[in-house]
Every structure is written in structure tokens, then in C-alpha cells.
Amino acid sequence: SRDAGHRPPRRRQEAEHIAWDVGLRLGPGSRYEVQELLGDGATGRVLGCLDAETGVFVAVKVAKANRRQSKQAMAEADVLRRLQCFDKSRCQRSYANLLDTFTHAEAHVCLVFEPLAKSLRGLMQEVGGKGLLLSDLREIASQLLGFLAFMHEAGVVHTDLKCTNLMLRGGGFDRVPHPRCPGAWAARLHR
């Protein structure tokens, strides 16, 4: 037959998420103690950790252990540092605060962020078909446009804007990118 000897294309081996359990220690000097899973994404996993040095809860974004995800995580850290150098106070208001970076087990690039509450998508799922108040939509749009203006001034283009990457904090839209913080959620944006 025509297909005799034809092999199907090989699927690329998908890199695994970091294996974790409560109490796992990450970072230099085992600084970060895993408390919980905050979320999984295509490129990695976000773990809620207690910072042993400060006693503060942080979100550690752990890239999958492959070259592509490692490069992407390092590029994200570089862009965040560039934005902080451009205008630290505006960066902290517009983007999740990058607190630390390290490599775990010589395989997983890790970015440590301040924790944020939930994504805009999470809020939309929570309110279901009820929608959001017009005043809240205006606030979200205003902050998003301010963020985009800041990125433009800094010469950076965000190539992955979506509802899952627009993060809410405590009582409203606040910053971009990923981690979610456990605990009480102020329901300001709910109808």
C-alpha cells in the first residue's frame, strides 16, 4: 500500500509539571515552603508558598522542565526587571511584583511573585451570566489601558493578554499576570 513503511509523526514529549506536596522546600536555602497549589497552566504550575525569611505568603510560578518553558520564564523575568528599571512605581502598580527568581532541581525555572486574588476570568465565572457593573467595567478598562500605555512607553508588547492573565487583587482589577492568592475575597465587583 501507499502508506507502507510510513511512520506517523512523533509527538513531542510533553514536559511534566513539578511534582509537589505540602512542605516541599524550594529556592536557595529552602526559603519557600509549599502550602498549596494555586493553579496549573500550559507552561507551568503556580504554588502558594510561605517565605521562611519574611513569613509572607508568596506565589511561586514553576516552569515546566524543558528548554522552551525555561527560556520563556527567563524572558518574563527579564521583561519584568526591564519594566521595574523603566519606572518601578508604575510597574508595581501595573504588573505583579517579581520578588525573586531561582532554579529548582537544576530543571525548573521559578519566579516568585506577590500573590494576587484571582483572574478576571475567574471573577466572570463566579458571577456567571449576571455580568459586571458598568462602573466596574470602566475601572477595569481604564486600568488596562493605563497598563498598555505604560508597556508602550517602555517599548514592551504583551503578547498574551487574556482574561486569565488579568489579575484581580482584593477588591478589583489590579495587575497583570498569573498567580492567585488564597483567602477572603472582597466582592466589590459582584452585582
Q: Is residue 183 part of a domain?
A: no
Reported pTM: 0.75
The residues carrying an active-site annotation are 160
Same domain, 127 and 61: no
Same domain, 127 and 62: no
The confidence score (pLDDT) of residue 15 equals: 67
Q: Range of 29's domain? A: 25-113
- Would you say 64 is a known binding-site residue? no
Q: Which residue from 136, 156, 135 is spatially nearest to 147, judged by alpha carbons?
A: 156
Residue 105 belongs to a domain with what CATH number? 3.30.200.20
User: pLDDT truncated to tens, each residue of the chain (191 aa)?
Assistant: 455 566 655 555 566 889 899 999 999 999 999 999 998 888 899 999 999 999 999 999 999 999 999 999 999 899 888 888 887 777 666 677 889 999 998 889 999 998 887 788 888 888 887 888 898 888 888 878 888 888 888 888 888 888 888 877 655 444 444 332 232 222 333 32
Which residue, chain included where needed, has cell 525555572?
109
Question: What are the residues whose beta carbons fall under 8 Å from the beta carbon of 161, sequence distance 6 or more?
Answer: 176
Number of domains in the chain: 2
The confidence score (pLDDT) of residue 119 equals: 82
Same domain, 159 and 80: no
Which cell numbers in the block locate residue 139? 475601572
Is there a contact between 147 and 94 (Cβ–Cβ < 8 Å)? yes
